[in-house]
Structure 1
Amino acid sequence: MPNRLIHASSPYLLQHAHNPVDWWEWGPEALARARAEDKPIFLSVGYGACHWCHVMAHESFEDPEIAAILNDHFISIKVDREERPDIDAIYMEALMAMTGSGGWPMSMFLTPDGEPFYGGTYFPPVERYGMPSFRRVLHSIIRSWREQRDQVNRTAAAMRRNLAYTAELKPQPGDLAPEILDAAFDSLVHLYDHYDGGFGSRPKFPQAMTLAFLLRQHMRTGDPAPLAMVEHTLRQMANGGIYDQLGGGFHRYSTDERWLIPHFEKMLYDNALLAQVYLYAWQITGKSFYRRIVEETLDYVLREMTHPLGGFFSTQDADSEGEEGRFFVWTPAEIKAVLGDAEGEIICRYFGVTEQGNFEGRNVLHVPEDLDALAQKPDMRPDFLPYLADVVAMARKRLFEAREKRVKPARDEKVLAAWNGLMMRTLAEAGGALDRADYIESARRNAAFILDHMQDASGRLFRSWKDGRAQFSAYLEDYADVAEGLIALYQVTFESRWLFQAERLLEVIHQHFWDDDQGAAFHTADDHEALIVRRKDFMDNAEPSGNSAYASAAIRLARLLDRPDLLDRAEVIFRFMRHRLPAQPSAFGHLLCALDMFLRPSREIAIIGDAEDPAQRVLHQTALRPFLPDAVLAGAAPEEAETLGRRIPLLAGRALVKGRPAAYVCQNFVCHLPITEADELINLL
């Protein structure tokens, strides 16, 4: 007999629809039932690709005895954190305050009013790993609820007060100056792993936004150190097991400091942000290795994570056939069965595959040394290098084809606005820089999908779409990330509708999210369901915070549309975190990137010419090829420039030069003479 979750849209919730637990979805009905029955709430938060969420579900939520305890003494609520980031953020902050750490599955205990008083993550069904059993935790909560209610209520009330602090923050006075960026870089140097790349130890997360800031720091100062840190990290990750060596795309994180053994789920936002930073590295260095990773990652997304209508799916699971990583790991015998003994032996050496294995007796493919180093081995010869390169290319193709016959990990096919905005931006930027029309078309189809299927008649966005149904009011990051994607799409297509839609989304933020008293934006709209607190998010965790994405979009729109009011709003956001940016830079990677652009003198490029004119396309491609962290780009056909110039001042008064397409570049408030030749534009940029 299924429970209430059988009617949910979330694949994660549907995975629990046949549990014996009497699950509720989050909503007023569940809270009202808790009040009516005077029961505490057990809140379980997770997501579809979470391995330990599956483990706890199998061990505890499918157990009739544990289910009976939950059903008799609690109102049990299951939440998909990807659909409800507002709930996830509130209670994750509470969990971090209680225990000093967090993660998923998140297991929280609340009063009927939603106030947290105890929490944890994964609990085993019996005591192990030095952790209390879930049964023991439940009985302890039941006893406290019955016998120590006053203490429970005091703890819950104190936690509610603590959670309200972000709404009480105020902008900080003082200069916003490049010294903040320099201090942030100095802090990152101390956190950097000079041996394996990245930051911290195990588990190690690929902090793409922090790496993007380091690239900006290199471009701003000319210091080679931040670029070296990024290049080292990007190579270590792309050669490690965290990268799918056969199919492209990155897994969520590495369980070790060497990027070798991943948590195998693949997230759309990780691949959007990582492909973007590899793209920037290619634009700066021209090294083909980075371009290969960009294209393999984006090709993976288009091949395996794209809905026929143009939306992008959320995640690919870690598990298949009931085992974590089963789809991705190999034995020497499996490789030789596909490639034969001779070439199979070479590929085992190249991908570090051994009989003993590196993951539960099998092997996560990685590249312990480059082909150049392999060719120098005593049993090889340097002139083998072209042959080895051909063998590796052939083997990757054949092993991928063989792997496609395996049972694939499950895919969470809901489409999330914010994550789609991130991928839209990366595809647009990559399409422009790499001259990949298919990437631009995918970004265009994605933009049309969001605007056609994920907004209501009044222009308000929905958070999630699946199986033809859009639902859940969008959050700040949904509006801001989609706006960033639309701005990028405009700059590579010069189709003005995308730019004006981005401006409209920011106006929705101003109307429904902005704090007119203190500044910055709340995570939820003014007409959103009331929760125990209304938070402001500034920290860039696995994805950009809504406020940092807003600041980034606002700066670009301000320069494209001559909207100084948008710069004022962005400045307020920076002031909220002015003292924390240099002290905790890894928590504010995207906000630091936005501040870097805010502090740079603006550079505007306008290109006038018919989109079908080859000379216009050459100028446009020339402007898109390099990494220009200070630039915005506008363009129009000559007959449209004056009309569009009323809304896009960069285009006003611009025309062809002697009948030829022309580029107009303004820098440091000084405009250069129009340019009609690509080599002149290259020199100027």
Structure 2
Amino acid sequence: MATSSSSSEKKPVVQSELNRLSKEKSPYLLQHANNPVDWYPWGEEAFEKARKENKLIFLSVGYSTCHWCHVMAHESFENEDVAKIMNEYFVNIKVDRETQPDVDRMYMLFVQSTTGSGGWPMSVFLTPELYPVFGGTYFPPDDQYGRAGFTTLLKRMAELWKEQPDDLRKSGTNAIEQLREHTASRGESAKSVELNMKTAQILYHHFDKLFDDEQGGFDGKSEPKFPTPVQFHFLLRYYYYILADLERADERLAIMSINEIRNRGAVLGIDFKNCENEAQFLNKLKEVVTSRKQVAEKSLEMVKFTLKKIAKGGIHDHVGNGFHRYSTDKYWHVPHFEKMLYDQAQLLMSFVEAYTITKDQYFAEVARDIVTYVERDLRDPEGGFYSAEDADSYPHEGAKHKLEGAFCVWEMSEIKEILGDKNSEVFCWHYGVKPDGNVDPSKDIQGELKRKNVLIERHTLEETAGHFNITLDQLKETLSESLKELAKYRFEKRPKPHRDDKILSSWNGLMITGLARAYDSLHDKKFLDLAEGAAKFLKEKMYIHDKKVLLRSFREGPGEVEGFVDDYSYLIEGLLQLYQSSFNESYLAWAVDLQDRQNQLFYDEQSGGYYNVKEGTKDILLRLKDDHDGAEPSANSVSVSNLILLGNIVDNLDYNAKAERTLKYFAGRLNSIPYSMSAMVASLMLHIKSVKQIMVVGREQNPTVQQFIEAIRDQFIPNKTLLLARPENEFLLEKNEMAKVTVQSEFTKGTEDNVPSVHICENFTCGMPISNIEELVDKLKY
């Protein structure tokens, strides 16, 4: 993507009076409050003006930490000549995609269907009735490389509207109708499709085929590279379920004769028809078991390898902690430097789960690194978490222009001055620092990173220690102290990037999940405190208690927009995890309230699945059922898992029925394009394999009970629900009439005698009570 060389000839003009966006709370809209463009927020005032004056609407959608949104703003929206054309011929509307995802998703679907791609900034021309007629993403201000610039496009669209308004209206109406028919037909082919593990096998082979065995990731050796935790989420669960199936099969096979096994080959899904004797039979059995174990191990190895490549790469902020959005190259080296809360939350979960399986301390260290960043830079004093930090910042105090990555990159001379010759030599060798910079010029389109270095671990600790003939402990101390010195310099001397300080229910839900899971595995009480603080903030500040309605955002007070389906689903997931981490039953009660409200507002009782907006939402032409698991999991994917787990805990068969209907609605697409629905396939596996309910019976303060709980949390069991049955036998869920839901009261017998135990229940059958820690650990193995 290239910028115009001629745009600098036109002097940007800062409008002396603020436009309408100055009254908004969104940081993104406020960034455009003094543009010379006569911007409107999304709403009836703008629509009425367009209808009254018979003008096309120019809709610009982005977010406050988006680098290319800034580029287009500087080149076009701050330019008086461009603004003049926009104001004369169009009604111009700005939308923050993070606070109004309904608007963004509707028109992004149009842009993707007409251009084959999408992204931000998103630029769409609408009729006064809000039907889209043309769209794209970033446009340079002037024509270049045979591509029309934004100025040319504005003039052409104005001419078309003047000359062919009826044709444009017809085109827009047809586009929406086609999208409506397309989205409505997604569930039609699913009615006869069977839900089974073949879908997961297809998805595994897709990832195995596209795995980059040199740099990690699942897009082959292409670029850019995105850290996509939904892929890790699936692969780690596929790993677990394969080994669990083999373990169960071993138990069954141990008590069966060869003839019985031959007749019941379905135990492992093996066809023994061609086995003529016992030796062939046993060899076939051994081959299949070995092959499946190899698949399981490969699933885990691909995740481990990719996570380590990401953590060692430049996409990881080695000095300031946390992760940038994505890498522009295939080496995870040169990122777009914005940091998003949803990335931190999901990567935290990925690293924690990798640690839980492997007990490799490296993954635990990276998980702690993420929490350090989020707590320090994204946490509101009252407990909620902010949305993001910008890619661009001023390179020094008094600078007139922001540069991408200025807060994060280094010149070698700076590092030498800060660290001194001895430490800087070791540091620069380990992190690939070069005198002329280490950024490939092809990844520095705007020339902002000349002579700059993005830190990337070019060598292992062992290689660096050997190169300098020092011990590993000496090296670790040198690198640790060097990173602290650079961080001190950065935070004290450099202007910080803009922080988007709005608080979103959905992304906070993701963060609560990650933090609670981190507490379970890493046993750091601070992580649980941070998760509970966020939950408290959401309930006190962003929840209308009498209506049981969640709000989308908070900044200088709660926003006016009610929550969308992802706000509900992500928060419910967080509360389910938070209950299992704290055994505070109020989280479970709130999860039930939110699930019931989500079902009421968004569930399609006729066909199954959840719409992204409630029925009758004003000014939204399409109600969509999101199913794409990309940078974030789709709300439908998360909802299926929530319904299964919550239905199991509170014994609600309707929840389980809704989960199955949702899977069946999407079954056609699950079988045809599972690679775009990784989290949904993970939820499908949960549905097929069922929930393992683990009931710890006893008082939480009892040392044996604590031993039991820690042993359970130390195991990676993705299909578990962990419950604590206290002697009082019951917990309260605030449903319609404060109905009491009993926690398996027969299991609590004996708690008064101070004899703690554990029951493991699967497929409506509970095992005998376990009162020995060694026996429990053995039983938890798959």
Q: Which residue of 1 aligns with 2:518?
A: 430
Number of the residue aligned with 2:407? 327
Residue 522 of structure 1: aligned partner:
611
Q: TM-score, normalised by structure 2?
A: 0.85
Q: Which residue of 2 aligns with 1:40?
A: 56
418-427 or 657-666, larger mean C-alpha shift:
657-666
> Which one of the candidate residues 508, 512, 519 is aligned to 2:601?
512
Question: Are 1:275 and 2:275 counterparts?
Answer: no
SS of residue paired to 2:25: coil
Per-residue deviation at 1:470? 2.9
**Does structure 1 residue 137 correspond to structure 2 residue 153?**
yes
Q: Deviations over 1:65-110 (max 9, x none)?
A: 1111111100000000000000000111100111111111001000
> Please, which of 171, 196, 209 is the counterpart of residue 230 of structure 2?
209
1:535, distance to aligned residue in structure 2 (A): 1.3
1:352, 1:367 within 8 Å by CA — same for their partners in 2? yes
Q: Deviations over 1:238-266 (max 9, x none)?
A: 00001111222111111011110000000
Q: Deviations over 1:355-414 (max 9, x none)?
A: 12123220011101211122333xx33x52221121112212222122111111110000
Would you say the 8 A contact 1:606–1:651 is kept in 2?
no
- Deviation at 1:666? 1.7
CA distance in 2, matches of 1:650, 1:631: 16
Counterpart in the other structure of 1:365: 455
- Give the aligned partner of residue 192 of structure 1: 211
- Tell me whether 1:393 sits opposite 2:480 in the alignment: yes
Q: TM-score, normalised by structure 1?
A: 0.97
Contact 2:729 2:748 in 1 (8 A): no
Q: 2:253 aligned with 1:173, yes or no?
A: no
The answer for the alignment partner of 1:440 in structure 2 is 528
Deviations 1:629-684 (A, max 9, x none): 12111114312448789525445542445413322222344322223343332221
Gaps of 5+ in 1: none
State the Cα deviation string for residues 5-52 of structure 1 (Å, max 9, x = none): 000010000000001111000012211111111000000000000011
Note if contact 1:375-1:384 (Cα within 8 Å) is conserved in structure 2.
Answer: yes
SS in 1 for 2:722: strand
- Is 1:611 paired with 2:700? yes
Out of 756, 759, 768, the residue aligned to residue 664 of structure 1 is 759
Q: CA deviation at 1:582?
A: 4.3
Equivalent residue for 1:4? 20
Task: For residues 444-503 of structure 1, give each alpha carbon's deviation from its aligned partner in whole angstroms, at most 9, with x where no partner exists.
Answer: 111111111111131101101111233211100001110000000001111111011111
- Structure 2 residue aligned with 1:338: 418
Which piece of structure 1 moves more, 185-194 or 72-81? 185-194
Deviations 1:174-197 (A, max 9, x none): 221111111111122222222211
- For the 8 Å contact 1:193–1:199, the answer to whether it is kept is yes
Asked if the contact 2:692/2:760 (under 8 Å) is kept, the reply is: yes
| Amino acid paired to 1:403 | R
Task: Measure how far apart 1:225 and its partner are.
Answer: 1.0
8 Å contact from structure 1 (residues 41, 111) kept in 2: yes
* Aligned residues of 1:187 and 1:583 also touching (Cα < 8 A): no
- Give CA-to-partner distance per residue, 1:565-613, whole Å, 9 cap, x none: 2111111221222232244333212112211211113211111232333
* CA shift in 2, pair 1:302/1:77, >3 Å: same
Is it true that 1:73 corresponds to 2:89 in the alignment?
yes
Per-residue CA distance 1:276-313 (angstroms, 9 max, x = gap): 01111111111011111111001211111011111110
**Matching residue of 2:241:** 220
Distance 1:433 1:517, change over 3 A: same
**Deviation larger for 132-141 or 580-589:** 580-589
Tell me the SS of whatever aligns to 1:665. Answer: strand
Q: How far, CA to CA, are the matches of 1:656 and 1:425 in structure 2?
A: 33
Cα distance in structure 1, aligned partners of 2:145 and 2:65: 23
- Per the alignment, residue 369 of structure 2 pairs with 296
**Cα 1:642–1:588 shift into 2, 3 Å:** closer
Letter in 1 for 2:403: E
Alignment of 1:226-625 (within 5 A): 226-321=299-394, 322-359=402-439, 360=449, 361-377=451-467, 380-381=468-469, 384-405=471-492, 406-456=494-544, 457-625=546-714
Q: Give the structure 1 partner of residue 118 of structure 2.
A: 102
Is 1:647 the counterpart of 2:741? The answer is yes
CA contact (8 A) 1:634 1:651 kept: no
2:348–2:514 Cα contact (<8 Å) kept: yes
Task: Assess if the C-alpha contact under 8 Å between 1:42 and 1:110 holds in 2.
Answer: yes
Structure 1 residues 41, 197: closer, same or farther in 2, change over 3 A?
same
Aligned 8 A contact 2:585 2:731 in 1? no
Inter-CA distance 642–260: structure 2 relative to 1 (3 Å threshold): closer
For 1:569, give the aligned amino acid.
K
- Off by >6 Å, runs of 4+ in structure 1: 642-645
d(CA) in 2 for partners of 1:401, 1:349: 21
How does 1:79-98 map onto structure 2 within 5 Å?
A: 79-98=95-114
2-structure distance, mates of 1:8, 1:539 = 30
The number of aligned residues is 682
Q: Is the 8 A contact 1:313 1:414 kept in 2?
A: yes
Task: Give SS of 1:664's match.
Answer: strand
Tell me the distance in 1 between the aligned counterparts of 2:473 and 2:703: 37
Q: Find the aligned partners of 1:617 and 1:167 in 2 and give their Cα distance.
A: 50
The answer to whether the 8 Å contact 1:646/1:652 transfers is no
Give the conservation status (yes or no) of the 8 Å contact 1:313–1:413.
yes
Aligned-CA RMSD value: 1.7
Indicate which of 683, 699, 716 corresponds to 1:627. 716
CA distance in 1, matches of 2:155, 2:731: 72
**Structure 2 CA distance, aligned partners of 1:642 and 1:31?**
50
Cα shift readout 1:95-141 (whole Å, capped 9, x = no counterpart): 01111111110010000111111111111112235532111000010
Q: Which amino acid in 2 is paired with 1:64?
A: E
Contact 1:184-1:582 within 8 A present in 2 as well: no
Aligned partners of 1:2 and 1:17 also within 8 Å:
yes
| SS state at 2:748 partner | coil
Matching residue of 1:684: 779
Larger deviation, residues 462-471 vs 92-101 = 462-471
Task: Supply the distance in 1 between the matched residues of 2:201 and 2:210 (Cα, whole angstroms).
Answer: 15
**Runs of 5+ consecutive residues of structure 2 not aligned to the other structure:** 1-16, 244-295, 395-401, 440-448, 734-738
Letter in 2 for 1:678: I
The AA in structure 2 aligned to 1:427 is L
Tell me the amino acid that sits aligned with residue 543 of structure 2: Q
Amino acid at match of 1:202: E
The answer to whether the 8 Å contact 1:238/1:293 transfers is: yes
More displaced stretch, 336-345 vs 654-663: 654-663
C-alpha separation in 2, matches of 1:117 and 1:563: 46
Matched residues in 2 for 1:664 and 1:492: separation? 18
Distance 1:408 1:396, change over 3 A: same
